Amino acid sequence: MNRKIRKNKKVLVELKCVKKVFGKKHKQVIAINNLSFKLYEGENVALIGANGAGKTTTVEMIMGINKPTQGRVIYSLSEKSSKRKHNLDLGIQFQDSIYPQYIYVKDIVNFIINAYNISIDEKTLEGLVKAFKVDNFYTHRANSLSGGQSQRLNILLAFLHKPKLVFLDELSTGLDITTRNDFKKFIKDYAIKNNITIVLISHDSGEIMSLTDKIIILKNGSIVKEVKTKDFKNINELEKFIELNIN
């Protein structure tokens, strides 16, 4: 990522001995088991693991979509956090989104602006829509979008309110190579400029190398490895490490 990280880093979110159990009695499944880690301001993290490792459940608990069975999720995102909901400082790009059948893309964007009470002028909004490559289908109905177009819209919505912490789920899904490379550079620069910290859920080693400073590998709901991205000389070395540790 190559962003300078302060020695005295501010903790944005802390998970403390978090456990998540689904089901009841004899049919219980432990999705997250005694999970503890901190997300620091300005330190982008790749959260990776095989299917069922607990990545999505972890993000859902941080977002407040799911509550831990045990343990705590502690927020210190904003200096005014006691006077505002922490979710105003969080953003998330879902891999899959379903929008009402007849709604237009521009109306979805305006809904988010109103929901978060975002102060943004028309020129700035126009620039963001263009930067996130949403401009060529901005007046289209949402249900007419291709997979790649939906992905670009989802990413724009995640960043629109300039959250302190944003979760990106499989960023490159549906994007062509040119758009993918443009997005990595733009998102990297945009995050630095607006002091946004990224948590990336991805199987793309190129994304991980470009966008993150640290890698957390989950297995069976627990951390098995936590390493610095800069420790890897190239993508091939990173891919071998991931393959060795996620299965």
In the beta sheet, which residues pair with residue 4? Answer: none
* pLDDT attached to residue 79: 53
Contact 75, 81 (CB under 8 A): yes
Residues 105 and 126: their CA atoms lie apart, in Å, by 13
Q: What is the pLDDT of residue 83?
A: 41
How much is the pLDDT for 82?
A: 45
Kindly report whether the global pTM for this prediction surpasses the value 0.85: yes
Q: Which residue ranges of the chain lie beneath pLDDT 70?
A: 1-7, 78-88
Half-sphere exposure (Cβ direction) of 193: Cα atoms closer than 13 Å = 8
Return the pLDDT at 221: 95
What pLDDT is recorded for position 84?
47
List all residues 6 or more positions away from 55 whose beta carbon is below 8 Å from its beta carbon: 47, 48, 49, 201, 218
Is there a contact between 86 and 79 (Cβ–Cβ < 8 Å)? no
State the sign of the Cα–Cα–Cα–Cα dihedral 142, 107, 177, 49.
Answer: negative
Spatial distance between the Cα atoms of 82 and 77, rounded to a whole number of angstroms: 10
Give, in order, the Cα–Cα distances in Å from 177 to each of 121, 136, 173, 182. 32, 18, 11, 9
Please list the helix, strand and coil fractions of the chain in percent, rounded to the nearest 5, in that order. Answer: 40, 25, 35
pLDDT at residue 228, rounded to an integer: 97
Instruction: Return the pLDDT at 173.
Output: 80
